[in-house]
Amino acid sequence: MLELTAKTIAELRDGLRSREFTAREIAESYNGAVSAAKALNAYTVTTPDDALAAAEAADSGRATGSLAGIPLGIKDLFATKGVDTTAGSNILKGFRPRYESTVTANLRKAGAGMLGKLNMDEFAMGSSNETSAYGPVLSPWRRSGSNVSLTPGGSSGGSAAAVAAHIAPGATGTDTGGSIRQPAAFAGICGIKPTYGRCSRWGIVSFASSLDQAGPMARTVRDCATLLEAMAGFDPKDSTSLDLPVPQWEANLSSDLRGKRVGIPREYRIDGVPAEINALWDQGIEWLKDAGAAPVEISLPHTQYALPTYYIIAPAEASSNLARYDGVRYGLRVEGVKTLDDMYAATRAQGFGAEVKRRIMIGTYVLSAGFYDAYFTKAQKVRALIKQDFAKAFEQCDLILTPTAPSAAFGIGETTDPLAMYLNDVFAVPASLAGLPAMSVPGGLDGQGLPLGLHIIGNELDEQTVLNAGLAIEERAGFTARPEKWW
């Protein structure tokens, strides 16, 4: 029974069809594995009955969708009806939405069940899961011969750890500036952020609305394609939702890249990146050549300005979005203060953690009278140039290959400087600013036995080429390494 948790979603689906096992057996295996893995701190709430109910619907033939009988982990940023939804923050402790996010409703419509809510950096602000009010998720991975606790990355760190530790076959993530791709790379799994607007943002706790995008995290490229197909789709309740049909990404998967040109951006060769990561990048180019693609050198001249642009726009939008946490409508309220204004200030002081406060402060400053044009408008102009860089590059190539992150997973508590932490997303942020689909797939292990990811960026709406290139890398990398179980 235990080996059911080792199967991919595609294998589970096949086994259910051939009646090799039941959905109930899958749900029970996962529920057992989840409750035995508390040491990872990956789940904030577990919902074993939800997984069992979905299994029952699948076994009885009532649920017949593409994910019938598949239990999933759901990032705590997605509103789930009647189940705590806290965005990893004290300010939302105890919040139980009366509604379901569009993405999770879509997954349920496809027959999926829920194993529980997954831990994350507070309001998705972080790259290591250390800003969560529940404490950090621990990566199932450790350096060879060491028992130092490592971060699974962030902000979708609980999702990455759960998929890697086989306590979820797949999970939802969200990506504002790398929050699906960096943790996927750190945990040795796959994760894709689709084109901005593919997945509805309705019912996802907002961080930076012009950047936030949901996507799946799973063990294989195929599973990502299956999950994304179920998650995506037009939603009139999100004004930036794309009114387009959802392509059949899974059915159209093909690792034959003949005729495709792979752009290699010269600006992504930056100082301080370990040689192993650049070597894996070169290996990735060889793999794509082997699949029939032709590499071309491209230039994305404003790359170095992407992070500072992001750290104006994202905090600005966050400061505005997070104004809603005022102790009036939901979540925490600090009592014992006299005026309404004092209640707001005391509630927000107690409810938000240090990184969230820092970003609200930066955002408030760059939007304040006298500084708006110098910071915010300037950043929106540079963002336009970054988008233009990609548009020009895609005249010369069909996809872009880079490393996902500038390092492998680091230790909990090892990175204390906020700026050093922000640099983790140096390769991920430009595609976010341009709204482009991008994916991380595992490429191999570093010298310390930790996973490294390769990052594929596609042209807007071209998730298919991203997934196909991911599949080509997956087939050639033969990444089968698993973390040794210590939890």
Is 235 in contact with 200 (CB distance < 8 Å)? yes
**117 in contact with other proteins (CB under 8 A):** no
User: What mask, x for binding other proteins by CB under 8 A, covers residues 187 to 206?
Assistant: --------xxx---------
**135 in contact with other proteins (CB under 8 A):** no
**370 in contact with other proteins (CB under 8 A):** no
Q: Which residues does 210 contact at the CB level (< 8 Å), separation at least 6? A: 196, 313, 317
**360 in contact with other proteins (CB under 8 A):** yes
Which of the stretches 45-53, 114-122, 127-135, 356-364 binds other proteins when contact is defined by CB under 8 A? 356-364
Q: Which is nearer to other proteins, 330 or 487 (CB)?
A: 330
Query: Least Å distance between CB 376 and other proteins?
Result: 8
CA atoms of 431 and 414, how far apart (whole Å): 27
Query: Which of 7, 108, 348, 455 is the binder for other proteins (CB under 8 A)?
Result: 348
Query: Which of 11, 95, 143, 279 is the binder for other proteins (CB under 8 A)?
Result: 95
Q: Which is nearer to other proteins, 327 or 458 (CB)?
A: 327
Q: DSSP letters along 413-438, please?
A: TS---HHHHHGGGTTTHHHHHTT--E
**464 in contact with other proteins (CB under 8 A):** no
Q: Which residues does 172 contact at the CB level (< 8 Å), separation at least 6? A: 72, 73, 74, 75, 78, 103, 104, 107, 159, 214, 215, 216, 217, 227, 231
**465 in contact with other proteins (CB under 8 A):** no
Which of the stretches 42-50, 262-270, 321-329, 479-487 binds other proteins when contact is defined by CB under 8 A? 321-329
Q: Which residues does 486 contact at the CB level (< 8 Å), separation at least 6? A: 140, 142, 147
Q: Is 210 exposed, middle or buried (0-12, 13-18, 19+ CB in 10 A)?
A: middle
**207 in contact with other proteins (CB under 8 A):** no
Residues linked to residue 216 through DSSP beta bridges, in sequence order? 172
Give me the sign of the Cα torsion angle 323, 329, 331, 334. Answer: positive
Q: Which residues does 342 contact at the CB level (< 8 Å), separation at least 6? A: none
Query: Least Å distance between CB 337 and other proteins?
Result: 7
Q: DSSP letters along 426-486, please?
A: TTTHHHHHTT--EEEEEEEE-TTS-EEEEEEEE-TT-HHHHHHHHHHHHHHH-----PPP-
Query: Which of 175, 223, 389, 460 is the binder for other proteins (CB under 8 A)?
Result: 460
Size of the site for other proteins (CB under 8 A): 70
Query: Least Å distance between CB 246 and other proteins?
Result: 16
Which of the stretches 21-29, 182-190, 284-292, 428-436 binds other proteins when contact is defined by CB under 8 A? 428-436
Active site residues: 75, 155, 179
Query: Which of 368, 372, 396, 447 is the binder for other proteins (CB under 8 A)?
Result: 368
Query: Quick one: tokens of 35?
Result: 């409750």
Q: What are phi and psi of 192, to 5 degrees?
A: -125, 135
Q: Which is nearer to other proteins, 36 or 361 (CB)?
A: 361
Q: What are phi and psi of 370, to 5 degrees?
A: 95, -20
SS3 30: helix
Query: Which of 35, 146, 254, 377 is the binder for other proteins (CB under 8 A)?
Result: 377
What residue type is assigned to position 260 of the chain? Answer: K
Query: Least Å distance between CB 83 and other proteins?
Result: 13
Query: Quick one: tokens of 162?
Result: 């759960």
User: What mask, x for binding other proteins by CB under 8 A, covers residues 229 to 268?
Assistant: -------x--xx-xx-------------------------
Q: Which is nearer to other proteins, 94 or 135 (CB)?
A: 94
Which of the stretches 37-45, 284-292, 347-355, 478-486 binds other proteins when contact is defined by CB under 8 A? 347-355
**270 in contact with other proteins (CB under 8 A):** no
CA distances from 465 to 225, 290, 444 (A): 12, 16, 22
**Tally of helices (H runs) and strands (E runs) in the chain:** 16, 11
Pairing mode of beta strands 190-193, 294-298: unpaired
Query: Least Å distance between CB 440 and other proteins?
Result: 20
Query: Least Å distance between CB 443 and other proteins?
Result: 28
Query: Quick one: tokens of 188?
Result: 């040795």
Query: Least Å distance between CB 323 and other proteins?
Result: 8
**341 in contact with other proteins (CB under 8 A):** yes
Residues linked to residue 440 through DSSP beta bridges, in sequence order? 191, 455
SS3 85: coil
Q: Which is nearer to other proteins, 161 or 204 (CB)?
A: 204
Using CB under 8 A as the criterion, which residues of the chain lie in contact with other proteins when the complex forms? 94-99, 195-197, 210-211, 236, 239-240, 242-243, 302, 305, 308-309, 311-312, 319, 323, 326-333, 337-346, 348-349, 352, 357-358, 360-362, 364-365, 368, 375, 377-385, 387, 418-419, 433-435, 460
